[in-house]
A = this chain, B = another copy of it.
Amino acid sequence: MILEVICIGSELLSGITLNSNAHWLAGQIVNAGGRLSRITVVGDELADISSAVKESLARNPYILITTGGLGATYDDMTLEGIAAALGRKTTIDQRAVEMLRKSYARRHLDYELDAVRLKMATIPDGSTPLENMVGSAPAVTAEIGGTRIFCLQGVPSEMQQVFNDHILPTIRKQIGHFVSREVNYQVTGVTEAMIAPALLKIVESNPREAVYLKTHPQGYGENNTPHIRAQVVSRGSDEEKVAKRLEAVTSTLRQEISKLGGKIEP
């Protein structure tokens, strides 16, 4: 199951905000058994949003998630961008208006639903609002061809609530039970280049979606001893198989590193 994420917000393109939303989403998706194939970050520009969405839809992911740009300010234009990408209009949605009303009531906020606030209830034709249980602006979902789009908020707590309530169940329903187990090793005395052929052999002898094996160089210690972190991830629906594969891969890795004169811990 392939997913894509589009993060919308000029603060992500100016070094102001670290894109922790994309990082959080990636972890959640992969742990649930999905595959995130691309993250795109664009600014608060209608044309940029709409072309990023169009391009993603052309790649036909199972789910496309956008984050950010659902608020009331002038630079919140995600839903306009989605509508432009789909060649649809946006209109005030009464279900979304009701959600806004409820969100204010829940927090005892006595706000008038003026034009600025109603912008948060103005969604692309044919889409469905999703309640925001944390803040104000509803999320939005729509089915386009084979892709389900979810437009999530930029505020992390709001985004996470909508992901957990609506997207995670969608992934789970499709994928079912899924296990991901990971072990990290500290390797000394061999470099990435020395270990590369062994890694390739291990990776090629396992199903691609089931085993993830990566080394991260961490510089050199005393006497120029290279340090690397080796990460082994085993994933799948069958708990026993996942455990066995993890054991087999790490055992081969230990042997190969010993052969090269390196040390692996723990």
* Cross-chain contact B193 with A111 (CB below 8 angstroms): yes
Count this chain's copies in the assembly.
2
- Shortest C-beta distance, A237 to chain B (Å), equals 18
Quick check: which of A35-43, A80-88, A143-151 contacts chain B, the rest being far away? A35-43
Tell me whether A19 is interfacial, beta carbon within 8 Å: yes
How many residues on chain A are close to B (CB under 8 Å)?
Answer: 66
Contact of A36 among B14, B29, B116, B233 (CB under 8 A): B14
The answer on a CB contact under 8 Å between A38 and B39 is no
Stretch at the interface among A125-133, A211-219, A251-259: A211-219
Residues of B within 8 A of A29 (CB): 15
Which of A161-169, A171-179, A194-202 faces chain B?
A194-202
Residues of A at the B interface (CB closer than 8 Å) are 10-16, 18-20, 22-31, 36-43, 48, 52, 55, 71-75, 107-109, 111, 114, 116-117, 120, 135-136, 155, 191-197, 199-200, 203, 212, 214-217, 220, 224, 231, 233
